[in-house]
Amino acid sequence: MAARAGLHLEYLPLAELEADRWSGVMGVATFAAARSEIRATPIPVAEVHTPVLGAAGALCEVWRTGQTIDSGVRGRVRYARSANMMFGCIAVPERGESAGSHSPLYCATEQAYQEILGTLDAVGYSHLIRVWNYVPEINRDTHGVERYRQFNSARQAALLTGGRPVTGNVSAACALGAAVGSPLVVYFLASRTEPTYVENPRQVSAYNYPAQYGVRSPVFSRATVHHDADALTLFISGTASIVGHQTVHAGDTAAQTRETLVNIQALLEEANRVTGTGGFTLDALALKVYVRHPADLPAIQEELRGALGPRARPVYLQADICRRDLAVEIEATAIISAGTDF
């Protein structure tokens, strides 16, 4: 999956990352891993409180580039940037009681996105391409509203205040649960150049969901494609067993996994169509799989082995998913060399 001078994604044990001495690293997300010497580096690190499933142990998601990297801090946002790409992260705890009519989670989300957007404006990387959101107790009801819906309302409010669109040209993203008591953690990739936005013909765009899913719709594209001089990078948002706007196969984890793969295949075909290439294929994807109930892991693994073959190495995390009736969610990334066709 190397992308020459552009982006490169790896999933590594923490010890292996430390041994590699950070060569070309733009940013890291750790999952159920101690920070250890990471704290002493200028590299931005998002510490995500979601357990790793399977035999992987402490795990790091590592974003590298072959370009020169410059790092910095603005408020609570830590970032590193190359000539055209930025990785950044922020952690915002929920503080005390609600401020006015807004819940602590709403306030934390609004603050996080205001600081992210302010940083992008200040350093000149105006296009959010991919965003990861980890929301503690995402399905719990507080202040009369599910916390995922509180998050969606605050994210949309911050984007509107920051002059960003909330439909159409919006980043790929996901929002998953995190451990009780952990902060809201957001990490992201942004660019100086606008990506190509991709929607799934099988699904209603999330930003056009009907009101039954909340007063404010989720703000994300189903996928985005980042264009570098030597590579194209496809970011597939968190994808689940949804057709149109409705969950299908509730209660059947294996069937949900199969339907999720059908949606991912549809996104690959659409990404190939809009970029004019056939290079995005299922076997080229790096997959991160979120599992609501650890007991469902063997069924999910069996379905993925059957679809992807024995060489695939998905990463499995335990996390609550944005809808209570969803048992599995999959996100994916693919990096292909650019050619004359695009």
Distances (CA, A) of 338 to 214, 226, 310: 40, 11, 27
The residue among 90, 187, 184 whose CA lies nearest residue 136 is 184
Three-class DSSP category at 197 = strand
Gap between the Cα atoms of 134 and 138, Å rounded? 8
Residue 259 is a catalytic residue: no
Gap between the Cα atoms of 152 and 106, Å rounded? 9
What residues contact residue 211 under an 8 Å CB cut-off, 6+ apart?
A: none
Gap between the Cα atoms of 68 and 289, Å rounded? 31
Cβ(113)–Cβ(162) below 8 Å: yes
The residue among 195, 187, 102, 196 whose CA lies nearest residue 153 is 102
Catalytic residue chosen out of the listed positions 61, 110, 199, 329: 329
Helix extents (H) in the chain: 14-19, 104-123, 147-161, 253-275, 297-308
Give exposure, 6-44, as e/b (b: 16+ Cβ within 10 Å). Answer: bbbbbbbebeebeeeebebbbbbbbbbbeeeebeeeebb
Let me know if 124 is exposed, middle or buried by CB neighbors in 10 A (0-12, 13-18, 19+).
exposed
**Terminal Cα distance for the chain, rounded:** 19
Q: Which residues are catalytic?
A: 329
